Each structure stands twice: as C-alpha cells, then as structure tokens.
Structure 1
Amino acid sequence: MPISTKVAEGIHEVDVIIAGAGTAGCVVAGRLAAADPELSTLLIEGGENNAGKEDVRNGAQLLEHLTPVSRTAIFNVGKESKALGGRAVVVPSGGLLGGGSSINIMDWLSTAVKLGYKEYTDLEDPESVNEGWERALKYSTPDGSRADAAHAYVQPLLEDGEDPNLHVLCESKVVRVLFDDNKRAVGVEYITNPAYQAQTNLTQTPNLTIKATKLVVVSAGACGTPQVLERSGVGNPSILKAVGVPVVAEVPGVGENYDDHTLIIYPFATNLGPDDTLDQCTSGSVSAQEYTNKGMIGWNGCDTHGKFRPTEEEVQALGPAFKSAWEKDYKSQPNRPLMMSATLAGFLGDHSTVPAGQYFSTAAYFAYSYSRGYLHITGPNYEDQIDFDPGYLSDKDGLDVAMNIWAYKRLPKIMRSTSMFTGELQIAHPMFPEGSAAACVNDVDSKSVVADPKYTAEDDKAIEKFIRGNVGSCWHSLGTAKMAPKEQNGVVDEKLNVYGVTGLKVIDLSIAPGMVAANTNNTAYVVGEKGAEIILAEFDAAREGQ
C-alpha cells in the first residue's frame, strides 16, 4: 500500500499498530512486514512523508530543520529554569516519517573509521590537529543523499508491491491507546494533524479510532511516548488524576528519568576557503542549486569527532565533588569519555550577526550528565501543553557545570593550535572581565603562535554565566519510559511490555535506562531491531502453542 494521509477505506482493524514512525518505529514496521507479509501492520506518523524532500536528502541543508518555522521537527518547550538563568530551553525531536534519522546531522563515528577516517590520540599535538581537523576527507553515500530509516526499512517494501498488508499513515497524531476491560491494548485513538490538514470549528472531525488484534507499539520517542502513555491512563496516578485522565495502570516511572546530551557550540573565525565550509549555503549567499552543481550539497560539514577525558591535574582543579565522581564513575574505565566534541565547518547561528567569512564550530556535549529531568502532560488532549523540565545543569553537586567549564577551556586551546584559526567569535563566547588573559582574540595571523588562554577565578565565573545562559539540547533525548523493575521506576520489562497492561510495548529511545557515549540514532536502530526480534519470536511462539 502507498503512504497515505487517510486510512484506506474498509480498514477498521489491523494486527499491529505502531504509534510513531521515527527511527525505531520504521525499523519495527519494516522487519515485521518483511518477516510475515500476511501480518497486517499500520505505522502512524504525525508528520509528513519524507520522500522527495530536498532538505531531508541533502546534508548541507541540515540547519533548516532547526529554524522556528520548520515542520520537519517537533519543538518541545521546557519550563523556565533557575539553573539556566531563567531560560526555557527548546528540545527538538524528529517530526516527520523517519523521525530523527531524517533530520539528524549524520555524524557516524564508527562508520567513518571503517571508511578511512584516521584516528588521532592527541588532539593537542599541532601536527595531528592540522592533519586531522583540516584535511579530513568528505564522505557521503554513493549518490550524495541521506540514508534514513524510512527509506531503508519501509519504502522498499511499499515500492515492490509485495507487501499489501503494510500501511503507513502520515499527518495523523496518536492521542491515546485504547484498552478493553481486561486492560489489554486493543487499538488507538488519533487525530489528523491540523498543521497539514486544516480544520475549523465547523469542519473539525471527531477523534478517529482503529483497532489492533495482536499488539500496539508506542514508538513516539522520549518526548512523545510518555505523553501517549499518560493520555492513555498509564502513569503516575497523582499526575493522571490531576489532569482528568482515568487511571488504567499505575506506573509512576512514566515521564521521569529524562536524559539528554547537553550541548554548547563554540564558533571560530578561520582562513579556510569558501568551499571548505558550509557558510555560503547556510547564510543563503549561495543557493542550494549552486551547492548541488559544486557537488557539495550532500556534505554535512561534520568531518571530525573526538572523545575527551581530563588529566589528573584538571580533575583536581575541578574540586572535591568532581574528583569524587571521577574516581567512582570514570577513573577505572579508561575508555569512558567525559566529553564528546563534533566539529562543523561553518557558523550555526544567524549569519546577519557576524561578518561574512568562513567559520569553524566545535560542539561540546557530555557523555554522561548527572542531571535528570521529567516530561508529563497537563491535560487529556493532544493539544494540551506539556510540563517539561529537561533538568539541565540541575545536579546538586554542580558536576555538569564543572564539566562544561573544563570543556570550554579545552576546546579553544585546541583550536588555537590549528593553522586555520584566526580568532574567536565573541558573540558565542564568554564575556570575560576587562583585561582578562582569557579574552577572545581576533585577526590572528595563522602563521603566528597563539598563546594558550590563562584563566582566573573571575574568568571561571564568566564561563559559568555563559554556560548557564547558552547550554541546550543535543537532540539526544531518552529515558522517559525506561526498562527497569517497576519498583525502580521502570516502565517496561525486558520484553518491552508496559507494566500493568497487556498487548502494549514501547520500542524507542525512551526505554533506555541511561545515556550512551555516542550520538543516539544508531542506538534507536538497535532498539528497533531488537524490538522487532522480540515481537516476531512471541508471535512464532503463539502460533506454535495453538
């Protein structure tokens, strides 16, 4: 069946409903259909079909997904936080078929190594830096386009005409899971997405339903899944009762344990040429068509990625609380990184705020933050706002702030050792006290040696202020329906079954009990593969038992 924006006439029930067509959801749908063409599966996506979208296909257009008017992302707005200087951060997540795999930056570290990227053990050695950070090869798929979960797992099955029982419904939002009197999931209630299918008070249709005879899978991501579960009556009873949702199953862990890689991006001025960065494309001074003609439209600008650990001297300087955490969580595990850093050849902000030129940005994000947040509903309807606190920089011992201060001191030091460095962009760096030796430098001769910054206690305060005012999401949300015993705030068991009900599984990154030291999209693929494997094994066992 082709991808549609309406359920085909005559279809009122299917065997399996998958609520959410992000990375994991597409994997599950594709694997189930390929393994058993007789199994009828409905994959429901709130956003649009990603087929034929140039901003999905082309790596150089990746920043378009993060603009306020983007319809390829969902912007989850957090509450104002004292830890963030009173700011309310916005956490984007995938908002179209393929989810995050359709709009992510495509930074695949292990794949890059297999393709020929060289690994460097010392990024503070100028020779290594200049070879690795300035001359990295630019790899992409053979046709220069993105490979995403929808095109890899779902589209081929729809195109071959041999899988008529695989149905994909786009532009429809799942409101809640439906249960029978025995608390078995028997279907979902959904609405057409008004962002794509305009409605008025006079023409608005009621919520629609479709039944599932075997299984319902919620795969709406770490920000979407807890909302679906809570609107379905699965969650903390005190929260559900307060917002007028009847309790079906008491599962207090729903929406708790929110985790993410926090992110700050630091830009630098360079002496690179126009074709060495994405600035012409992201600033709009060169059209996407011109980039296509140059053969650059498939390049995402991310050519290097590093993992970092502090020296013993740096650990001591970060204070006793951090030293204690380091000795407990890191010291005996030499391959466990504290920070990860990706680079992007270009400036990621508003180009009207900086002089025309070629820039290079380094991203600092942390493998294992100590802060946690939560996400809950505030009402029974899809359009109700969320109660969302990402929890960034909120750990009681200030460990996440300490890590960020250390990271800021490390990254400019590395950049200053490169032959492309010509200065720091003050607009996206701390405002140090007048006369500080750590102040930003500009118009540096690339042939000169730039001294490493020296920091005082007052400089550290300036760095902390900047961090609290600028830290944001790395778009790696997980953990809000974690796999763990229920008494440990778990939401699903080892077979991905939701506690307290039957016929309902969660298969997405919300099940992860903790963070991974990598970009998370590959983990979403793994979760989808394992989830499909579990479902197929259970269906096989059920047939054998008949």
Structure 2
Amino acid sequence: MLEHSHEVDIVFVGGGTSACVAAGRLAAANPDLDILIIEQGPNNFQETKVVTPGLFGSHLIPNGRTVEFWKATKSEALNSREIPLVTGRYKPSGMLGGGSSVNFLMYCRPVASDFDDWNMTGWGSKDLVPLLKKFEKYHVTPGRATHGYEGPINVSCPNYHATVAQEYLDICVQTGIPMVEDLMDLHTGYGCSRIAQYVDPLTGYRQDTAHQYIHSQSGNKVLQLMTETLVTQVLFDGTKAIGVEVIGNKRQDPNADQVPKIILARRLVVVSAGTIGSALVLQRSGIGASTQLSKCGIDTVVDLPGIGANYEDHCSCTMVYHVADDVETLDPVFAGDPSAIERGLSQFKDGKGILTSNGIDAGSRLRPRPEELEKMGSHFKEVWKRYYEPAPEKVSLLSDSWSGFKFETFSRKVSNTTIGYESGPLLHSNLISSGSRFMTTINFELYPLSRGHVYITSNDPYSPPDFHTGFLEAQADVDVHVWGYKKSRELARRMPSYRGELSLMHPKFPEASAAACVRLEGPLPSSTRDIVYTQDDDQAIEEYVRQHVGVGVHPLGTARMAPREAGGCVDARLNVYGTEHLKVSDLSIIPGNVGGNTYSTALLVGEKAAILIAEDLGLILP
C-alpha cells in the first residue's frame, strides 16, 4: 500500500469512473480538502493497454489484473450456464478508472426520456443533459445543442474507418433504416450511424476518467491515491459512517499485508466500487437485507433489502460471419500477431492507424417494424403496447458491426508491453491464425424485463458472491433476441464483403432448412430475398440465444435510487437510507435502464455526485 494519511475529509471506496470524476472535480476546486481514493487494482497511468483503443480486448485475459470476472450462478433460462460478468471494478481485479479504463470505448448515450422515467427530484433530463454536455469535448460535428465542447472527455470518430462498417451503413440505408447524422442527440431513436468513440482525435488515446480527471492534476496534494487495496467494510458510529477498514489486495500482490487498518473520514464516505462491488461492500458493512446479513454473521446497521437486488444489464448476443480475405479487420491484432501489433503501435505513436479504433464504428438502433412485430411472441407484444408504442424514441435493440472476431488467447511481449486476449470457448485455435477474416454483429437488448441479484456469501472480501443475472427469465427478452438475430443476419447477408456464416456462432438449423449456414466464394446477388424461417428454425434460434446470450457489461441498479418504501437504497442526494455521512456514486444507483452504453451515464453520475457533495459540505464547485 502507498503512504497515506490515516484521517482525511472524504474517502472514496473504489476508484472507478464516477469516483474519479467526483473526486477530481472536488479536488481541483477545494485546496483545503483532503480526499483519498482507495482502489483495489493497479494504477493505470500511461499503460499502453489502457490508452490504446485497439487493444481494448487485452484486458479480457482470464486471471488478469485489470478486470474482474464475476461468475454467475447456473440458470435454466441460459441452458444451465454459469456466465461471467467482466467489470473494471472492485474485488480481486480491476484498475484505477474502472470501466472507463477497460471498456470498448463506444460513444452511445441514452435518450432524454430515460432520465425522466426515473422520476427522482434533480435527476430529470433538464437537470442531467447539462451534465452530459459538461464532461464532453465533442469533435464530431460543431454547434450541436445537446453536445458539449469544452469538457475533459474527448469524443471523436476514429481516423480509421473499417470497410465492413461502411458496408453495414450502406446496407442499412438500402433496407430502409435511415442514416442519422446524430443518433446520439438524446431524442432520436430508430436509425443507423457511425459510432463515435471516447478517443482524443489528435493523440488517438482512450479517454478514461483517471487520466482526464485525476492524472491531469497529479501535483495536487489535496488528492491521494491508495491502489491495490481492498476495503473490507465501512465503519460506523451508530449509523454514522466514520471511516473504512482496509487490507492489501493479495490478488494483486500475494505478499500484501492482510492485517486490517483503519482510515477515518472526517466528513464523508462515498462508496463507488461499481454495481457489483458497492453492493458487496455495503452488505459486508451491515447494510442490506438483515436476513441475508445474519446468514453471513454480520450485524445489521440498516435493514435495506434493496441492496444487491434489481441487478440489470444489457444482455447481448453475438453472431460471426466470414468476410473476404482481402478485407482489413482487427483479426490479426485479436490473434496476437506480433508484426500486426508492432505495426499498429508504430502508427499509433502519431495518433494514426488501426489501433486508434476499437473496430466497432458503425451500428444501429432498432425497433421492430409492424410486419416484424406481428411475428414476435405475445409476451413482447404486451411490452410493446405498454412501453415502446407510447415512446417512439426508445428502441429495443442496439446492434453493432464489429470488424473482426472475438478474442483468441495469447499473451505476448510487444514493445515491452504484455498483451493478452480472452479465449472464446467456441473458437478453434487455427481460425484466426489461418488468415481468415471475420465480422461480428453484437445485439444488445436495451430495456430487458429480467432482473437478477448479487449477495455476499461471507464477510470475507475474497469470497465469491451469490450472483444471478436473471437473463432471459422473461420470455419477452427472448423474443427480442430472436427477432434481432433475424434482422441483423439479413443486413450482414447483403454486405459486399459477406462470405457466409461461421457455423459455430450461429444456430444449429435443420440440415434442409433455408436458414442453414453457408460458406461462399463471393457476395450474394442483389436479388437475394429474406430468409423465410420455419417454426423449427425459430426454435433453433431460441436455443442459440439461450446458449449464447451473455452480459452487455453495462451492469446497474443494485443500490437503486428510489423511495425507500419502493425498495430504494439511496435518496435523490445519493445518501444511503438510514445512515449519515454515507453516499453511493456509481451505476449501482441507477433506477432503470438506459438506451445506450453506460459510460456516459457513469460520467454524469460522477458529475452529479460532485455537485451534491459540494452542496452538502459547503464546498466550492465551479
């Protein structure tokens, strides 16, 4: 552990996206304040794997130091699979900046009505849209009323634009999906567009909150960092939070000191350990369902059953297609080709080349057309009438076109940096190394009905939690993904680079089915008709969905901001019910899902938290 004060004004439990924003804002404006960020993972300062967009997948290596794999319990709805959730946050792995250091960099904002749906004072669209503008420096188009141009977080379209991305957009337009100049204007729903990224257009660097809010004021002695340190619990005097207990993180350093130490907080403790981590820290501290806490031998400070409940995510489903061998994709990088990575890093020094992009620079927001809705299940039709029909700006599916396949396991030293990638369980080791090229479609359900939970199983911070995603337990969620498979496949089949389906990553259709996978030498003719799916085909798609749906890596809701009588955990000022001097600031507080990737929402939570903390403590905040 680093040298630190044993008593400070404000302790942030976790150094993730929201924590870095709030702590950075407060530290920059209040020279007499003492702020300590306690992060269980390593510092991310100038890490090649962090700042280089094209290496985002290198964090997904199992047992790595920069992300945590949370294994969920077996679920019948997922064919008894134990799917993993990958986060940049709390427990054995993770790193400073949290998800902002390891995410896929996609700039994808909610729609304004998402905020209004929360129905919390001070959290409506009129309150939050200014905060979305405050943190961003938008380089895509000048003069847009809903975008910001002076914030610390750069947003741009990468210098590199994938061939398959442009083809995807062209086919979307040809099939009636409108090209929208600004699909992220907070009001537009249906359409397609290039997807901007959280990347500095000059340097090509990732825009994470640690670099933009914390490292940018490294000389500010107001702000202290303690990395590779676990918070075992928040300490209380009655119901008043007075500090935290910490130990060294032995998952980062096997020799880390496991003797607990106490750090006192004179004014405030802010739990910001992420959707999973915050729920677990609070429960270990005696805040949660008393029946659950007693099973783990923990005395109840506040009986708050909502802690750990209401887990949500954008459950996702992935399909992979062959493309022509001469199409440039990120596959050589994903495969760990040293020459490809070395060449990319050399170009990246000048802010150019394929590594300035994540390879996901085109996508669409989709709602079923009337003729498509008619063929969907009755469960989704009921949801449509109640939720989607009155809100044309809300879409049920976000579909992204990815230039390349999922990651092959490797760990190699390139330019003095160890770079590793995830092992896909269905990926044969020779596929990418053979020189084949792929494109991937990832479909995210944006407003699923299914809910899960995360509960402690012990007071030991290293013990795995009882984590249940709840995915696909509502049939309407299955209906969305079955429709999404058909929709996205028709788009892929019409792209000039398309050369068939990779059968491992598609349903097992009956052999004689018109939907059976194909392998082609050239593109399909322009006269190609849509596939007509039979009932057996639909069953095969549903089976594939249940076997392959995974996390969208956008978890939220486990310490929900809502009235206490409605199962809420924090009030509109982020105070934990029944306590004093204790707030939560991360995606765990979000009351209901949002129609886009959650990085922008985590950023605005941090900005809002800074305002609320400053108001409550009488601090300065410009």
Regarding TM over 0.5, the answer is yes
- Is the CA contact 1:124–1:414 (under 8 Å) kept in the aligned structure 2? no
Relative to structure 1, the CA distance from residue 465 to residue 124 in structure 2 (aligned partners, 3 Å threshold; closer, same or farther) is: farther
Correspondence for 1:437: 514
Conservation of the 8 A alpha-carbon contact between 1:134 and 1:420 = no
Does residue 153 in structure 1 map to residue 205 in structure 2? no
What is the correspondence of 1:111-510 to structure 2 with a 5 Å cutoff?
114=141, 123=172, 125=174, 140-141=199-200, 142-158=202-218, 161=219, 163-181=220-238, 183-199=239-255, 204-271=257-324, 273=326, 276-285=328-337, 286-294=339-347, 295-350=353-408, 352=429, 354=431, 355-395=434-474, 398-446=475-523, 448-449=525-526, 450-510=528-588
- Listed one character per residue, the Cα deviations across residues 114-160 of structure 1 (whole Å, up to 9, x for unaligned) are 357999798161698999999969974211111100000001111xx
Partner of 1:531: 609
Q: Secondary structure at the match of 1:472?
A: coil
**Deviation at residue 337 of structure 1 after TM alignment:** 0.4
Q: Give how far 1:297 is off.
A: 2.0
Aligned CA distance change for structure 1 residues 21 and 327 (closer, same or farther; 3 Å):
same
Counterpart for residue 96 of structure 1? 95
Q: Could you list the runs of 5+ residues in structure 1 that have no partner in the other structure?
A: none
**CA distance, structure 1, for counterparts of residue 588 and residue 192 of structure 2:** 37
Residues 483 and 129 of structure 1: CA distance in aligned 2, closer, same or farther (over 3 Å): closer
Segment drifting more, 102-111 vs 149-158: 102-111
Partner Cα separation in structure 2 for residue 267 and residue 288 of structure 1: 23
Q: C-alpha displacement at 1:499, in angstroms?
A: 0.6
Give the Cα separation in 1 of the matches to 2:340 and 2:62: 20
3-state SS, counterpart of residue 189 of structure 1? strand
1:508/1:297 CA distance change after superposition, 3 Å: same
Q: 3-state DSSP class of the match of 2:355? A: coil
Q: CA 1:490–1:524 in structure 2 vs 1: closer, same or farther (change >3 Å)?
A: same
Q: Deviations over 1:266-294 (max 9, x none)?
A: 111112635x3101111122442221234
1:196-246 CA-to-partner distances (Å, cap 9, x unmatched) read 2222xxx85411110000000000010100000000000000000111000
Label 1:121 to 1:222 Cα distance change in 2 as closer, same or farther (>3 A). Answer: farther
Q: Is 405-414 or 64-73 further displaced after alignment?
A: 64-73
| CA contact 1:436–1:459 (8 Å) conserved in 2 | yes
Deviation by residue 1:44-84 (Cα, 9 ceiling, x = unmatched): 10000001211111111111111213211011111011110
Query: Alpha-carbon deviation of 1:190?
Result: 1.1
SS of the equivalent of 2:442 reads strand
Whether the 8 Å contact between 1:262 and 1:365 is mirrored in structure 2 is: yes
CA contact (8 A) 1:264 1:472 kept: yes
Aligned partner of 1:49 in structure 2 is 43
Q: TM-score, normalised on structure 1?
A: 0.91
**CA 1:284–1:278 in 2, change beyond 3 Å: closer, same or farther?**
same
Q: Distance in 2 between matches of 1:121 and 1:237?
A: 56
Distance 1:116 1:238, change over 3 A: closer
SS at match of 1:123: helix
Distance in 1, Cα, partners of 2:442 & 2:204: 24
Alignment-mate amino acid for residue 500 of structure 1: G
The alpha-carbon distance between structure 1 residues 244 and 121, as it changes in their structure 2 partners (threshold 3 A), is farther
1:452 deviates by: 2.2
Q: Percent identity?
A: 37
Change beyond 3 A, Cα 1:429–1:99? same
Tell me the SS of whatever aligns to 1:342: strand
Contact 2:273 2:586 in 1 (8 A): yes
- Please give the root-mean-square deviation of Cα atoms over the aligned residues, in Å: 2.5
Post-superposition Cα deviations, 1:65-121, rounded to whole Å, max 9, x if no partner, equal 112132110111110111100101100110100000001111114658535799979
1:447, CA displacement in angstroms?
6.1
Distance 1:174 1:302, change over 3 A: same
CA contact (8 A) 1:138 1:299 kept: no
State the one-letter code of the partner of 1:123. C
Residues 124 and 417, structure 1, Cα contact 8 Å, conserved in 2: no
Distance 1:128 1:328 in 2: 24
Task: Provide the rounded CA distance (Å) in 2 between the counterparts of 1:77 and 1:410.
Answer: 30
After superposition, give the CA deviation of every residue in 1:347-398 in whole Å (9 maximum; x if it has no partner): 1143625253221111100110010000000111101220010100012xx1
What letter is aligned with 1:522? Answer: S
Gaps in structure 2 of 5+ consecutive residues: 89-93, 110-137, 142-155, 159-165, 182-190, 348-352, 409-426
Partner of 1:75: 69
Q: Secondary structure at the match of 2:588?
A: helix
Separation of aligned partners in 2, 1:506 and 1:52: 28
Aligned partners of 2:97, 2:577: CA distance in 1, in Å?
Answer: 27
Seen in structure 2, the aligned counterparts of structure 1 residues 459 and 127 have a Cα distance that, compared at 3 Å, is closer
128-137 or 423-432, which deviates more? 128-137
